[in-house]
Protein backbone atom coordinates (compact mmCIF):
# COMPACT_ATOMS: atom_id res chain seq x y z
CA UNK A 1 0.00 0.00 0.00
CA UNK A 2 2.81 2.43 0.86
CA UNK A 3 4.51 1.83 -2.48
CA UNK A 4 1.26 2.44 -4.37
CA UNK A 5 0.00 5.42 -2.36
CA UNK A 6 3.38 7.20 -2.26
CA UNK A 7 4.42 6.46 -5.83
CA UNK A 8 5.76 9.80 -7.23
CA UNK A 9 3.59 9.26 -10.33
CA UNK A 10 0.41 8.90 -8.26
CA UNK A 11 0.16 12.45 -6.90
CA UNK A 12 -3.38 12.73 -8.28
CA UNK A 13 -4.57 11.05 -5.05
CA UNK A 14 -4.35 12.24 -1.45
CA UNK A 15 -2.29 9.07 -0.70
CA UNK A 16 -4.72 7.99 2.01
CA UNK A 17 -6.67 4.72 1.76
CA UNK A 18 -10.13 4.25 3.27
CA UNK A 19 -11.81 0.94 4.07
CA UNK A 20 -15.56 0.50 4.43
CA UNK A 21 -16.04 -1.90 7.32
CA UNK A 22 -19.18 -3.49 8.64
CA UNK A 23 -20.13 -5.12 11.91
CA UNK A 24 -19.91 -8.84 11.18
CA UNK A 25 -21.93 -9.70 14.29
CA UNK A 26 -25.04 -8.37 12.55
CA UNK A 27 -26.71 -11.34 10.88
CA UNK A 28 -29.49 -9.64 8.94
CA UNK A 29 -30.42 -8.65 5.38
CA UNK A 30 -32.44 -5.64 6.58
CA UNK A 31 -30.81 -2.29 5.87
CA UNK A 32 -32.03 -0.90 9.19
CA UNK A 33 -29.87 -3.50 10.98
CA UNK A 34 -26.74 -2.71 8.95
CA UNK A 35 -23.78 -1.16 10.77
CA UNK A 36 -20.74 0.21 8.98
CA UNK A 37 -18.22 3.03 8.72
CA UNK A 38 -14.96 4.26 7.18
CA UNK A 39 -11.56 3.26 8.56
CA UNK A 40 -8.49 5.24 7.41
CA UNK A 41 -4.92 4.21 6.60
CA UNK A 42 -2.05 6.71 6.38
CA UNK A 43 1.22 5.33 4.93
CA UNK A 44 3.38 8.18 6.38
CA UNK A 45 6.49 6.95 4.52
CA UNK A 46 7.60 4.06 2.32
CA UNK A 47 9.47 2.40 5.20
CA UNK A 48 6.87 2.84 7.94
CA UNK A 49 4.18 0.40 8.99
CA UNK A 50 1.65 3.21 8.57
CA UNK A 51 -1.12 4.30 10.93
CA UNK A 52 -4.66 2.95 10.91
CA UNK A 53 -7.76 4.31 12.63
CA UNK A 54 -10.79 2.12 13.12
CA UNK A 55 -14.23 2.90 11.70
CA UNK A 56 -16.90 4.37 13.92
CA UNK A 57 -19.94 2.26 13.05
CA UNK A 58 -23.09 4.03 11.96
CA UNK A 59 -26.51 2.61 11.15
CA UNK A 60 -29.20 3.27 8.57
CA UNK A 61 -32.95 3.59 8.40
CA UNK A 62 -34.98 1.29 6.18
CA UNK A 63 -35.30 4.02 3.53
CA UNK A 64 -31.48 4.24 3.25
CA UNK A 65 -31.03 7.47 5.22
CA UNK A 66 -28.54 7.73 8.06
CA UNK A 67 -29.82 6.83 11.50
CA UNK A 68 -29.02 9.75 13.81
CA UNK A 69 -28.49 7.39 16.73
CA UNK A 70 -25.31 5.43 15.85
CA UNK A 71 -24.95 2.12 17.67
CA UNK A 72 -22.27 1.23 20.17
CA UNK A 73 -18.89 0.25 18.86
CA UNK A 74 -16.02 0.68 16.51
CA UNK A 75 -14.31 -1.70 14.09
CA UNK A 76 -11.20 -3.71 14.87
CA UNK A 77 -7.74 -2.22 14.26
CA UNK A 78 -6.12 -4.10 11.38
CA UNK A 79 -2.73 -4.15 9.65
CA UNK A 80 -3.11 -2.45 6.28
CA UNK A 81 0.39 -2.07 4.83
CA UNK A 82 -0.04 -5.38 2.97
CA UNK A 83 -3.46 -6.03 1.45
CA UNK A 84 -4.59 -9.53 0.45
CA UNK A 85 -5.82 -10.20 -3.06
CA UNK A 86 -9.41 -9.01 -3.45
CA UNK A 87 -9.36 -6.44 -0.63
CA UNK A 88 -11.12 -3.29 -1.75
CA UNK A 89 -10.31 0.27 -0.66
CA UNK A 90 -11.19 3.84 -1.53
CA UNK A 91 -8.93 6.78 -2.42
CA UNK A 92 -9.77 10.45 -2.89
CA UNK A 93 -8.54 12.65 -5.67
CA UNK A 94 -6.00 15.36 -4.87
CA UNK A 95 -5.77 16.86 -8.36
CA UNK A 96 -7.09 15.84 -11.77
CA UNK A 97 -5.06 13.00 -13.25
CA UNK A 98 -4.55 9.26 -13.06
CA UNK A 99 -3.12 6.75 -10.61
CA UNK A 100 -1.35 3.60 -11.76
CA UNK A 101 -0.99 0.16 -10.20
CA UNK A 102 2.38 -1.39 -10.98
CA UNK A 103 3.90 -4.81 -10.57
CA UNK A 104 6.62 -3.16 -8.49
CA UNK A 105 3.96 -2.34 -5.87
CA UNK A 106 3.29 -6.05 -5.37
CA UNK A 107 4.96 -8.05 -2.66
CA UNK A 108 4.81 -11.64 -1.45
CA UNK A 109 3.72 -11.70 2.18
CA UNK A 110 2.77 -14.89 4.02
CA UNK A 111 -0.71 -14.16 5.33
CA UNK A 112 -1.19 -13.98 9.10
CA UNK A 113 -4.57 -15.62 9.54
CA UNK A 114 -5.15 -13.88 12.87
CA UNK A 115 -5.57 -10.63 10.92
CA UNK A 116 -7.28 -12.08 7.86
CA UNK A 117 -10.43 -10.39 6.64
CA UNK A 118 -11.56 -13.41 4.67
CA UNK A 119 -14.12 -15.65 6.30
CA UNK A 120 -12.45 -18.99 5.63
CA UNK A 121 -10.86 -21.52 7.98
CA UNK A 122 -7.16 -20.98 8.58
CA UNK A 123 -4.75 -23.37 6.90
CA UNK A 124 -1.79 -24.97 8.56
CA UNK A 125 1.34 -23.07 7.60
CA UNK A 126 4.86 -24.30 8.10
CA UNK A 127 6.51 -21.21 6.64
CA UNK A 128 7.38 -18.25 8.80
CA UNK A 129 5.40 -15.03 8.28
CA UNK A 130 7.76 -13.02 6.12
CA UNK A 131 7.61 -10.81 3.06
CA UNK A 132 9.76 -11.12 -0.03
CA UNK A 133 9.60 -8.19 -2.45
CA UNK A 134 9.77 -8.92 -6.15
CA UNK A 135 12.34 -6.16 -6.52
CA UNK A 136 15.14 -5.42 -4.03
CA UNK A 137 15.70 -6.49 -0.42
CA UNK A 138 13.09 -6.17 2.35
CA UNK A 139 12.73 -2.64 3.77
CA UNK A 140 12.77 -2.69 7.59
CA UNK A 141 9.89 -0.76 9.16
CA UNK A 142 10.67 2.75 10.35
CA UNK A 143 9.17 3.47 13.80
CA UNK A 144 6.70 6.34 14.09
CA UNK A 145 5.88 7.76 17.54
CA UNK A 146 2.10 8.03 17.79
CA UNK A 147 -0.85 7.59 20.11
CA UNK A 148 -4.56 7.05 19.62
CA UNK A 149 -7.27 9.18 21.17
CA UNK A 150 -10.57 7.33 21.65
CA UNK A 151 -13.67 9.40 22.35
CA UNK A 152 -16.75 7.54 23.56
CA UNK A 153 -19.78 9.51 22.41
CA UNK A 154 -23.00 9.17 24.45
CA UNK A 155 -21.89 5.63 25.34
CA UNK A 156 -23.10 4.70 21.83
CA UNK A 157 -19.99 4.60 19.65
CA UNK A 158 -16.28 5.44 19.68
CA UNK A 159 -14.43 7.87 17.44
CA UNK A 160 -10.77 6.94 17.15
CA UNK A 161 -8.14 9.53 16.18
CA UNK A 162 -4.40 8.99 15.72
CA UNK A 163 -1.75 11.64 16.33
CA UNK A 164 1.85 11.13 15.16
CA UNK A 165 5.17 12.97 15.34
CA UNK A 166 6.48 12.89 11.76
CA UNK A 167 9.68 14.48 10.52
CA UNK A 168 8.91 17.05 7.83
CA UNK A 169 5.18 17.26 8.56
CA UNK A 170 3.62 20.73 8.62
CA UNK A 171 0.79 22.40 10.54
CA UNK A 172 -1.40 22.08 7.44
CA UNK A 173 -2.75 19.06 5.58
CA UNK A 174 0.11 16.82 4.41
CA UNK A 175 -0.34 14.33 1.58
CA UNK A 176 0.13 10.72 2.69
CA UNK A 177 0.07 11.70 6.38
CA UNK A 178 -3.15 13.47 7.35
CA UNK A 179 -6.39 11.55 6.74
CA UNK A 180 -9.76 13.26 6.38
CA UNK A 181 -12.82 12.23 8.33
CA UNK A 182 -15.09 10.46 5.82
CA UNK A 183 -18.09 10.46 8.19
CA UNK A 184 -19.07 14.12 7.85
CA UNK A 185 -22.78 13.28 8.15
CA UNK A 186 -22.52 11.78 11.63
CA UNK A 187 -24.53 14.07 13.93
CA UNK A 188 -22.08 13.84 16.87
CA UNK A 189 -18.35 13.48 16.23
CA UNK A 190 -14.76 14.47 17.09
CA UNK A 191 -11.93 15.23 14.62
CA UNK A 192 -8.64 17.03 14.27
CA UNK A 193 -9.23 20.55 12.89
CA UNK A 194 -6.80 21.21 10.02
CA UNK A 195 -7.30 24.05 7.54
CA UNK A 196 -11.00 24.29 8.52
CA UNK A 197 -11.64 20.61 7.75
CA UNK A 198 -12.05 17.47 9.82
CA UNK A 199 -9.34 14.77 9.98
CA UNK A 200 -8.96 11.45 11.82
CA UNK A 201 -5.15 11.14 11.47
CA UNK A 202 -2.73 14.03 11.95
CA UNK A 203 1.06 14.19 11.86
CA UNK A 204 3.24 17.12 12.93
CA UNK A 205 6.96 17.71 13.36
CA UNK A 206 8.18 16.86 16.86
CA UNK A 207 7.47 19.74 19.26
CA UNK A 208 6.01 19.18 22.72
CA UNK A 209 5.03 22.85 22.95
CA UNK A 210 2.33 22.47 20.27
CA UNK A 211 -1.39 22.61 21.00
CA UNK A 212 -3.46 20.54 18.55
CA UNK A 213 -7.00 21.86 17.80
CA UNK A 214 -9.92 19.44 17.94
CA UNK A 215 -13.26 19.85 16.22
CA UNK A 216 -16.26 18.62 18.22
CA UNK A 217 -19.86 18.72 17.04
CA UNK A 218 -23.13 17.80 18.72
CA UNK A 219 -26.61 17.72 17.17
CA UNK A 220 -28.26 17.20 20.56
CA UNK A 221 -26.96 17.45 24.16
CA UNK A 222 -24.09 14.95 23.94
CA UNK A 223 -21.54 13.45 26.34
CA UNK A 224 -17.93 13.06 25.13
CA UNK A 225 -15.47 10.88 27.06
CA UNK A 226 -11.84 11.46 25.96
CA UNK A 227 -9.18 8.85 26.71
CA UNK A 228 -5.84 7.57 25.36
CA UNK A 229 -6.22 4.02 24.08
CA UNK A 230 -2.78 3.21 22.60
CA UNK A 231 0.77 4.58 22.70
CA UNK A 232 3.49 3.42 20.26
CA UNK A 233 7.18 4.50 20.37
CA UNK A 234 6.22 7.51 22.48
CA UNK A 235 7.42 8.23 26.02
CA UNK A 236 5.07 6.37 28.38
CA UNK A 237 5.73 8.97 31.09
CA UNK A 238 4.85 11.95 28.88
CA UNK A 239 1.55 13.51 29.92
CA UNK A 240 -1.15 14.06 27.29
CA UNK A 241 -3.74 16.68 28.15
CA UNK A 242 -7.11 17.81 26.89
CA UNK A 243 -7.17 21.58 27.18
CA UNK A 244 -10.65 23.04 27.72
CA UNK A 245 -10.75 26.75 26.89
CA UNK A 246 -14.11 27.17 28.66
CA UNK A 247 -12.40 27.27 32.07
CA UNK A 248 -8.74 27.30 30.91
CA UNK A 249 -8.22 23.82 32.39
CA UNK A 250 -5.86 20.95 31.53
CA UNK A 251 -6.84 17.31 32.01
CA UNK A 252 -4.24 14.52 31.82
CA UNK A 253 -6.09 11.76 29.95
CA UNK A 254 -3.26 9.20 30.02
CA UNK A 255 -4.89 7.37 32.95
CA UNK A 256 -8.06 9.31 33.79
CA UNK A 257 -10.59 10.08 31.01
CA UNK A 258 -12.03 13.57 30.67
CA UNK A 259 -15.79 13.64 30.26
CA UNK A 260 -17.83 16.67 29.23
CA UNK A 261 -21.45 17.17 28.15
CA UNK A 262 -21.98 19.73 25.38
CA UNK A 263 -24.99 21.65 24.21
CA UNK A 264 -25.84 21.36 20.49
CA UNK A 265 -23.33 23.17 18.34
CA UNK A 266 -19.95 23.07 16.62
CA UNK A 267 -16.81 23.60 18.73
CA UNK A 268 -13.55 24.31 16.89
CA UNK A 269 -11.85 26.64 19.37
CA UNK A 270 -12.66 25.08 22.73
CA UNK A 271 -10.70 21.80 22.87
CA UNK A 272 -7.02 21.12 22.14
CA UNK A 273 -4.51 18.35 22.73
CA UNK A 274 -1.53 19.57 24.76
CA UNK A 275 1.67 18.03 26.13
CA UNK A 276 2.42 20.79 28.64
CA UNK A 277 -0.17 21.40 31.32
CA UNK A 278 -0.48 24.51 33.41
CA UNK A 279 -2.40 22.54 36.00
CA UNK A 280 0.52 20.46 37.27
CA UNK A 281 0.45 17.41 39.50
CA UNK A 282 2.37 17.55 42.79
CA UNK A 283 5.40 15.59 41.55
CA UNK A 284 5.63 17.88 38.53
CA UNK A 285 5.88 21.16 40.43
CA UNK A 286 9.65 21.21 40.12
CA UNK A 287 9.33 20.99 36.33
CA UNK A 288 7.14 24.09 36.01
CA UNK A 289 8.50 26.09 33.11
CA UNK A 290 11.19 23.53 32.29
CA UNK A 291 10.58 20.77 29.74
CA UNK A 292 12.96 18.06 28.52
CA UNK A 293 12.35 15.98 25.41
CA UNK A 294 14.17 13.96 22.76
CA UNK A 295 14.05 15.16 19.14
CA UNK A 296 14.87 11.98 17.21
CA UNK A 297 14.42 13.71 13.87
CA UNK A 298 17.49 15.87 14.49
CA UNK A 299 19.19 13.48 16.97
CA UNK A 300 19.30 15.95 19.88
CA UNK A 301 17.97 16.05 23.41
CA UNK A 302 16.39 19.43 24.09
CA UNK A 303 15.22 21.40 27.09
CA UNK A 304 13.01 24.48 27.19
CA UNK A 305 13.90 26.85 30.05
CA UNK A 306 10.88 29.16 29.95
CA UNK A 307 11.83 31.03 33.15
CA UNK A 308 15.54 31.41 32.24
CA UNK A 309 16.64 29.68 35.42
CA UNK A 310 20.37 29.15 36.04
CA UNK A 311 21.47 25.60 35.26
CA UNK A 312 24.73 24.29 36.71
CA UNK A 313 25.09 21.12 34.64
CA UNK A 314 23.49 18.52 32.40
CA UNK A 315 24.07 14.76 32.38
CA UNK A 316 22.56 11.98 30.29
CA UNK A 317 22.71 8.48 31.80
CA UNK A 318 22.16 5.13 30.10
CA UNK A 319 20.25 2.28 31.74
CA UNK A 320 23.45 1.06 33.43
CA UNK A 321 23.87 4.41 35.17
CA UNK A 322 26.82 5.54 33.05
CA UNK A 323 27.03 9.23 32.11
CA UNK A 324 27.21 9.30 28.31
CA UNK A 325 26.94 13.10 28.11
CA UNK A 326 28.05 15.63 30.73
CA UNK A 327 28.15 19.44 30.41
CA UNK A 328 28.94 22.05 33.09
CA UNK A 329 28.42 25.79 33.58
CA UNK A 330 25.33 26.01 31.39
CA UNK A 331 24.15 29.33 32.79
CA UNK A 332 20.69 30.78 32.10
CA UNK A 333 19.55 30.10 28.53
CA UNK A 334 16.00 29.94 27.12
CA UNK A 335 16.79 26.52 25.62
CA UNK A 336 19.48 23.84 25.63
CA UNK A 337 20.36 21.28 22.99
CA UNK A 338 22.79 18.33 23.08
CA UNK A 339 23.59 15.96 20.22
CA UNK A 340 22.63 12.29 20.64
CA UNK A 341 23.70 11.18 17.15
CA UNK A 342 26.56 9.03 18.51
CA UNK A 343 24.37 7.14 20.98
CA UNK A 344 22.67 3.78 20.57
CA UNK A 345 18.90 3.56 20.52
CA UNK A 346 17.43 3.01 23.97
CA UNK A 347 16.10 4.56 27.17
CA UNK A 348 18.14 7.27 28.92
CA UNK A 349 17.74 9.55 31.92
CA UNK A 350 18.33 13.29 31.42
CA UNK A 351 19.37 15.20 34.56
CA UNK A 352 19.70 18.98 34.93
CA UNK A 353 21.25 20.41 38.09
CA UNK A 354 19.72 23.77 38.94
CA UNK A 355 21.33 26.60 40.85
CA UNK A 356 20.73 25.66 44.46
CA UNK A 357 21.49 21.96 43.91
CA UNK A 358 17.97 20.85 43.01
CA UNK A 359 17.61 18.50 40.06
CA UNK A 360 15.15 18.02 37.20
CA UNK A 361 15.05 14.54 35.65
CA UNK A 362 13.24 13.12 32.65
CA UNK A 363 13.29 9.76 30.87
CA UNK A 364 13.94 10.08 27.13
CA UNK A 365 13.78 7.46 24.39
CA UNK A 366 16.48 7.76 21.72
CA UNK A 367 15.90 6.18 18.32
CA UNK A 368 18.91 6.38 16.03
CA UNK A 369 18.74 4.52 12.73
CA UNK A 370 21.35 1.80 12.52
CA UNK A 371 22.45 2.11 16.15
Separation of alpha carbons 363 and 368, rounded Å: 16
Using alpha carbons, select from 80, 99, 79, 81 the residue that is nearest to residue 91. 99
Q: Which residues pair with 56 in a beta bridge?
A: 74
Separation of alpha carbons 160 and 148, rounded Å: 7
CA 245 from chain center: how many Å? Answer: 23
Using alpha carbons, select from 116, 109, 96, 94 the residue that is nearest to residue 16. 94
Question: For position 187, what pLDDT does the model report?
Answer: 87
Contact present, 54 and 77 (Cβ < 8 Å): yes
E strands within 8-135?
13-22, 35-42, 51-53, 58-59, 90-93, 107-109, 131-133
Contact present, 1 and 82 (Cβ < 8 Å): yes
pLDDT tens sequence for the chain (371 residues): 999 999 999 999 999 999 988 777 777 777 667 778 899 999 999 888 899 998 887 766 667 676 666 555 666 667 788 888 889 999 999 888 999 999 989 887 776 554 444 444 444 444 444 444 434 445 556 678 899 999 999 888 889 999 998 888 998 999 999 999 998 888 899 999 999 999 999 999 877 778 999 999 999 899 999 999 989 888 777 889 999 888 888 899 988 999 999 999 999 999 999 988 764 333 344 455 788 888 888 889 999 888 888 998 998 988 766 789 999 989 999 899 999 999 988 888 888 888 766 778 788 888 876 55
Separation of alpha carbons 18 and 13, rounded Å: 12
CA separation, residue 108 to residues 128, 135, 140 (Å) = 12, 11, 15
| Strand 197-204 versus strand 222-232 pairing type | unpaired
Question: For position 288, what pLDDT does the model report?
Answer: 57
> Would the pTM count as exceeding 0.75?
no
pLDDT digits 0-9 by tens, 179-210: 999 988 888 999 999 999 999 999 998 777 78
Q: Where are the domains of the chain?
A: 2-124+140-274, 289-366
Contacts of 334 (CB under 8 A, 6+ apart): 304, 305, 306, 308
Using alpha carbons, select from 269, 270, 287 the residue that is nearest to residue 278. 287
Given CATH 3.40.50.300, say whether it is the number of domain 289-366.
no
Amino acid sequence: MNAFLLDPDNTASTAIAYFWQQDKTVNSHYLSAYKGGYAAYSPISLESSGIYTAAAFRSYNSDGTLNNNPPTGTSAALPRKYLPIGQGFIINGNTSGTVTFRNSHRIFYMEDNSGSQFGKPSKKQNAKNEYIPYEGPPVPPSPIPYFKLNTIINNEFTRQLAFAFVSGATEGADRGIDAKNMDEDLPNDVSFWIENENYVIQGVNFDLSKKIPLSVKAATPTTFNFRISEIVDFDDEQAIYIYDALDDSYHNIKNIPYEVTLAPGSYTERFKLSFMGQTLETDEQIKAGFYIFQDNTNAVVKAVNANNEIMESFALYDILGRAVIFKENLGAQPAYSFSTSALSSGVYIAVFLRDGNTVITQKVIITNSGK
